[in-house]
Structure 1
Amino acid sequence: MMYKGYLLDLDGTIYKGKEPIEGAKEFIEQLQERNIPYLFVTNNTTKTPRDVQTNLSQHFDIHVKEETIYTATLATADYLNSLNKGNRVYVIGESGLVDGLLSSGFIWDEEHPDFVVVGLDKKLNYQKLVTATLAIQNGAMFIGTNPDKNIPTEQGLLPGAGSIIASLISSTNQQPIIIGKPSSVIMQGAIERMGLEKSDVIMVGDNYETDIQAGIHNQIDTLLVLTGFTQKDDVSSLPIAPTYTLNNLSEWGGWNAINDTKK
């Protein structure tokens, strides 16, 4: 099948930490040459879209427009604004998440926030967990930007935002609303931004638990690349198979209407 649009993961799909992944740069260039719409849909909240754009350009020689990047931060702001339930937030996260929400009109409040928003925070400490726990116990809505347990890097799989969220689930006995993949929240926002039907796009990623489940749960075809989180030995035991499974993006043959790489 020839797809009219591509939803693309970044970490583990286009790059792994500071290392490029085989075939990724050429894949993006093929999309650009063929004028096929694409949108990077990333659970990473530590960077703004402009940061992501700069990182792709400077470190991987991949040149894209800022508007082709849809982060879990943008999806979180879109979702919270749609609720009309206040604008006070306490955030566990880095500048990409904090600044992104504040620039979207939210106000920082550690004592009586309407929302506690939790993402990856490499400077996490006990006091941040205390503040978040008390706020959630006092009625703040618990928002998890993404459930990623790990981040694929050149060092290996490092702790992700999901590990911080798990700590707060334990301390509050409450489940968060998850924004990032595989949630329908970020996927719906991405589809709306592309202006295409679900049946016309494909979700590309390395993580079965987030990227591929995001497609499966939202009736979107999926392409699993074995370059990051999910390994080749895992494929045979997956409960629902991806539409396609490839070692890396250089193997993709779906540029033509007839595609026989389906597995």
Structure 2
Amino acid sequence: MHFSLIWTEFFGMDLKNQKMLQNHIIFQKVKEKNVFSQQIIVVNRVKHMLKNQKNTKLKLKMIRYFQKIIKKIIKNKKKVFAASNIAACYIKEKLPLVKKCYVVGMSGICEELQNYGIEYIWSNDIHSKNKLMSPDEFNNLELDKEVGAVVVGIDYELNYFKMACASSYIQQGCYFIATNEDKYIMVGDKKMPGGGTIVNAIATATDQKPIVTGKPNPFVIQLLCEQHNIDRSKALMIGDNLETDIQLGQNAGLDTFLVLTGVTNLDKLKHNYDNQLVIPNYYADTA
């Protein structure tokens, strides 16, 4: 019964910070009692096989299976849903009256909007210079009346002018779309500001909450199930973030699997368990 986790038909994976095939993984099921004690399966990277572990052939078979899945996913772009793709698809399907967007983010968002036939103004094209803005300049900003939504994602060239323009559009009635609300990205042992920091800055300036099209919005799971005829009872959401990945899985009615290789550590998982907050069905600890 435990192996149904491994041989599930579909994996929803957040690959951003995962190291599933780089370290040996201990699969553990979250139970009401003794939540962190039951070891179910041990998987090892081929180069770092633990000498005293049994069922080596099974472990090798499982590793190769994971490798094949990831290679197939990367090769088949139709099965890869990036945050920018989800945002563009959401606008196309849920906000059909929006024909043009103002984009604060990287070029990938613009490319996806274009793929869905949605026009855009990229903030980098007109507001890339980090020039000063006075209150008068803000008050007299010339806005494109055709813009119906502001799309915000991670922007490594963010400046005040972009945020001011985005907030002005939103205050004029444009939809406020966020590709994600990631607070940070783990880079080594440091936390690098994520897209959520930009989203929250604009939300604070406008006093409005965004429509978050990415995790934990179940829209992407709905999209996947419809396009690829996926049975949710045979699907598993894998990720490293309790508030986004695991919450998404729960919102979409999927089993969930947390890996402690990114933003969540064991202390955070224990805290959530003790306080009856978001916890996964399974988790993996690494050595």
Is this a same-fold pair by TM over 0.5? yes
Instruction: Give the superposition deviation at 1:220.
Output: 0.5
Matched to 1:244, the amino acid is Y
Instruction: Give the superposition deviation at 1:84.
Output: 1.1
Matched to 1:197, the amino acid is D
Q: In structure 1, what is the Cα distance between the partners aligned to 2:220 and 2:240?
A: 17
The structure-2 alpha-carbon separation of the partners of 1:182 and 1:124, relative to structure 1 and needing over 3 Å to count, comes to: same
Q: Which residue of 2 aligns with 1:106?
A: 118
**Which stretch of the first structure deviates more once superposed, 138-147 or 21-30?**
21-30
Establish whether residue 4 from structure 1 lines up as the match of residue 42 from structure 2: no
Contact 2:18 2:259 in 1 (8 A): yes
Q: Which residue of 2 aligns with 1:241?
A: 279
Q: Which residue of 1 aligns with 2:79?
A: 68
Q: In structure 2, what is the Cα distance between the partners aligned to 1:200 and 1:187?
A: 13
Matched to 1:111, the amino acid is D
Q: In structure 2, what is the Cα distance between the partners aligned to 1:130 and 1:193?
A: 38
Q: Which residue of 1 aligns with 2:233?
A: 199
For structure 1, the 5+ residue unaligned runs are: 40-52, 54-63, 251-263
SS at match of 1:70: coil
Q: In structure 2, what is the Cα distance between the partners aligned to 1:199 and 1:148?
A: 27
Establish whether residue 91 from structure 1 lines up as the match of residue 125 from structure 2: no
Q: In structure 2, what is the Cα distance between the partners aligned to 1:67 and 1:23?
A: 30
Matched to 1:246, the amino acid is A
The structure-2 alpha-carbon separation of the partners of 1:21 and 1:130, relative to structure 1 and needing over 3 Å to count, comes to: farther
Taking structure 2 as the reference length, the TM-score comes to 0.70
Q: Which residue of 2 aligns with 1:187?
A: 221
Q: In structure 2, what is the Cα distance between the partners aligned to 1:158 and 1:194?
A: 34
The structure-2 alpha-carbon separation of the partners of 1:155 and 1:95, relative to structure 1 and needing over 3 Å to count, comes to: farther
Contact 1:7 1:203 in 2 (8 A): yes
Instruction: Give the superposition deviation at 1:107.
Output: 1.1
The correspondence of residues 1-263 of structure 1 with structure 2, limited to 5 A, is: 1=1, 2=4, 3-14=8-19, 21-22=22-23, 29-31=64-66, 33=68, 53=74, 64-82=75-93, 83-109=95-121, 111-112=144-145, 113-154=147-188, 156-238=190-272, 239-248=277-286
Contact 1:119 1:146 in 2 (8 A): yes
Q: In structure 2, what is the Cα distance between the partners aligned to 1:118 and 1:142?
A: 8
Matched to 1:70, the amino acid is F
CA deviations on 1:11-48 (whole Å, 9 max, x unpaired) are: 12248xxxx84359887741465x79986xxxxxxxxx
Q: In structure 1, what is the Cα distance between the partners aligned to 2:109 and 2:185?
A: 17
The structure-2 alpha-carbon separation of the partners of 1:21 and 1:37, relative to structure 1 and needing over 3 Å to count, comes to: closer
Contact 2:218 2:248 in 1 (8 A): yes
For structure 2, the 5+ residue unaligned runs are: 26-44, 47-61, 122-142
How big is the alpha-carbon RMSD for the aligned residues of Structure 1 and Structure 2? 2.6
Specify the structure having the higher radius of gyration (Cα): 2
Instruction: Give the superposition deviation at 1:184.
Output: 1.2
Matched to 1:123, the amino acid is E
The structure-2 alpha-carbon separation of the partners of 1:22 and 1:240, relative to structure 1 and needing over 3 Å to count, comes to: same
Q: In structure 1, what is the Cα distance between the partners aligned to 2:257 and 2:280?
A: 6
The structure-2 alpha-carbon separation of the partners of 1:235 and 1:177, relative to structure 1 and needing over 3 Å to count, comes to: same
Runs of 4+ in 1 over 6 A off after TM superposition: 24-28, 35-38
Instruction: Give the superposition deviation at 1:67.
Output: 2.7
Contact 1:37 1:194 in 2 (8 A): no
Q: In structure 2, what is the Cα distance between the partners aligned to 1:75 and 1:146?
A: 10
Instruction: Give the superposition deviation at 1:247.
Output: 1.3
SS at match of 1:247: strand
CA deviations on 1:166-210 (whole Å, 9 max, x unpaired) are: 011111111110011111122222333332121110000111111
Contact 2:260 2:283 in 1 (8 A): yes
